[in-house]
Amino acid sequence: MKSNQNRHITLIGAGLAGALLATLLARYGWRVDVYEKRGDPRLKGYEGGRSINLALAERGLHALRLAGADDAVMAQAVMMRGRMVHFADGRTALQRYGRDDSEVIWSVHRGQLNVVLLDIAERAGARLHFNRALASVDFDARTACLADDRDGSSHVIDFESLVGADGAGSSLRGAMKARCELGERTEFLGHSYKELEIPPTADGGFSIEPNALHIWPRGRYMCIALPNDGRTFTVTLFLPNEGDPSFQTVRTGADARALFASDFSDALPLIPQLERDFERNPTGLLGTLYLDRWHLDQRAVLLGDAAHAMVPFHGQGMNCAFEDCVALAEHLDATDDRASAFSGFQAERLPNARAIQAMALENYLEMRDRVDDDDYLLQRALERQLAERHPERFVPRYAMVTFQRLPYALALQRGNVQRELLVELTRGHDNLETLDWDAVDAIVAKRLPRLPAGTASPL
């Protein structure tokens, strides 16, 4: 049961998830206060930051549609049709992500996306408070202390429930841990990353194909590049922390240039400020954050990176965080019992977060180690055939994650069945011509039930 009274909630963090959740709840008629550590990014002069872009896929886009933010976001998005693979010998090849331009991903600018979301949150009636970092929580008195790092002042607020949308280093998570066992553990990947920039060409255009996510796979490591609407690309170099090459052997700008000269030679001339970028930009750590519980009874709940930070290799961190927002808003709006809303949200989302965390880890190998391996290529060829023959049953895992909205856990489970099928069916074959298609079709129908209605592509 839910009452019609004007319900109130306090969000911590006005990043991607905080701003979207504020909008959704405000649209449901809630009174929403959001506290953000940083200053308002919409104020002039604030945004001097680097141009960091993110891949937006169907799950995230769907959440933006529900919040009425899709048009403003898509106006600045750059379409990425597939992977442009840059082989070590200089060859390149575009591998499409989907069947056509209805199955693509979009490169969006983090700063612009955040600004759009803050604007619509405010327009929907949410109250945003900047320069307010959560410092401590008294869960008995239901008060929280927020600090303003500009003048060191602190501000105490009352709350009914707190929502932690404060990212991977969540302060709310830290406060909850002191009150109950969350089962927190972080597994570091042992690889880190560095961002570099490809500027526009002299005549102001993109210097490489704009409508692709570029990948330079090199076995144990790789580079990627995503386009920005300002005609630049953000390049990310992923390297192990140890070994050769690694962030231990590649320490200076000169080391980075030498690595690019030997392993990414077609990218080197595109990055004129390589040394400067490498030395100025911080090295980002990569890891997976697992929790066994996301809420403290009716008083606090976590979502997005605060609950389940993941490695970036499926480009789903934000997409998953946005899906969390839709789920939490629905659970909260459906009942006045917050403890049951929070536990229902956790029951729905935690298994799915675990699934995308696992798939994101697996996709690193897929991206960096795509060798021209014959077994692998034959399996990919069969995958394409089966997807065409059985569109309602056999959907490549990448497509289930990226272009559909079926639960991540189901995508993981069906993906495993599909992989076993591909291995079994290609065993002992050098090409697809020798396959018995009637038998193949029968096996597919037997092992892969039709996908639930409404998850198929909108074609």
Residues 87-146 that bind ligand 8R5 (CB under 6 A): none
Comparison of 236 and 265: residue with beta carbon closer to ligand FAD: 236
The window from 11-19, 85-93, 154-162, 403-411 that contacts ligand FAD (CB under 6 A) reads 11-19
Pairing type for strands 162-164 and 8-12 reads: parallel
Smallest gap from Cβ 317 to ligand 8R5, in A, equals 7
Residues 88-147 that bind ligand FAD (CB under 6 A): 133-134
Q: CA-to-CA distance for 339 and 360, rounded, in angstroms? A: 30
Residue 314 binds ligand 8R5, judged by CB under 6 A? yes
Please tell me whether residue 33 adopts helix, strand or coil conformation.
strand
Smallest gap from Cβ 236 to ligand 8R5, in A, equals 4
Residues 227-256 that bind ligand 8R5 (CB under 6 A): 236
The window from 136-144, 251-259, 313-321, 403-411 that contacts ligand 8R5 (CB under 6 A) reads 313-321
Smallest gap from Cβ 329 to ligand FAD, in A, equals 14
Q: CA-to-CA distance for 88 and 262, rounded, in angstroms? A: 9
Shortest Cβ contact with ligand 8R5: which residue? 315
Which among 413, 376, 377 has a CA at the least distance from the CA of 397?
413
Neighbours of 269 (CB within 10 A): 11
Do the beta carbons of residue 69 and residue 42 sit within 8 Å?
Answer: no
Residue 167 binds ligand FAD, judged by CB under 6 A? yes
114 Cβ contact partners less than 8 Å away, ≥ 6 residues apart = 14, 15, 16, 19, 41
User: Taking CB under 6 A as the rule, which mask of x and - marks residues 15-54 in contact with ligand FAD?
Assistant: xxxx----------------xxxx-------------x-x
Measured CA angle at 365 (ends 409, 415), to 5 deg: 30
User: Taking CB under 6 A as the rule, which mask of x and - marks residues 308-337 in contact with ligand FAD?
Assistant: ----x--xxxxx-x----------------
The window from 245-253, 258-266, 309-317, 442-450 that contacts ligand 8R5 (CB under 6 A) reads 309-317
Smallest gap from Cβ 280 to ligand 8R5, in A, equals 16
Q: CA-to-CA distance for 102 and 437, rounded, in angstroms? A: 29
Residues 181-240 that bind ligand FAD (CB under 6 A): none
Q: What are phi and psi of 131, to 5 degrees?
A: 60, 40
Please tell me whether residue 105 adopts helix, strand or coil conformation.
strand
User: Taking CB under 6 A as the rule, which mask of x and - marks residues 417-456 in contact with ligand 8R5?
Assistant: ----------------------------------------
Look at residue 367 and give the partner it binds from ligand 8R5, ligand FAD, none, a contact being a CB closer than 5 to 8 Å depending on partner kind: ligand 8R5
DSSP per residue, 176-215:
HHTTS----EEEEEEEEEEEEEEPPPTTSS-SS-SSSEEE
Number of chain residues interacting with ligand 8R5 (CB under 6 A): 14
Look at residue 18 and give the partner it binds from ligand FAD, ligand 8R5, none, a contact being a CB closer than 5 to 8 Å depending on partner kind: ligand FAD
Q: CA-to-CA distance for 428 and 354, rounded, in angstroms? A: 35
Which among 333, 341, 335 has a CA at the least distance from the CA of 24?
333
Q: Which of 159, 193, 216, 233 binds ligand 8R5 (CB under 6 A)?
A: 193
Q: CA-to-CA distance for 257 and 316, rounded, in angstroms? A: 30
| C-alpha pair distances (Å), 271 with each of 236, 254, 396 | 12, 13, 34
Q: Which of 70, 305, 323, 383 binds ligand FAD (CB under 6 A)?
A: 305
Q: Which of 10, 23, 161, 171 binds ligand FAD (CB under 6 A)?
A: 171
Comparison of 130 and 247: residue with beta carbon closer to ligand 8R5: 247
436 Cβ contact partners less than 8 Å away, ≥ 6 residues apart = none
The window from 1-9, 120-128, 306-314, 321-329 that contacts ligand 8R5 (CB under 6 A) reads 306-314
Q: Which two tokens stand for residue 141?
A: 């008195």
Q: Count CA atoms closer than 13 A to 441's CA, side-chain side.
A: 8
- Which parts of this chain interact with ligand FAD (CB under 6 A)? 12-18, 35-38, 52, 54-55, 133-134, 165-167, 171, 304-306, 312, 315-319, 321
- Which parts of this chain interact with ligand 8R5 (CB under 6 A)? 55, 83, 193, 213, 224, 226, 236, 284, 312-315, 363, 367
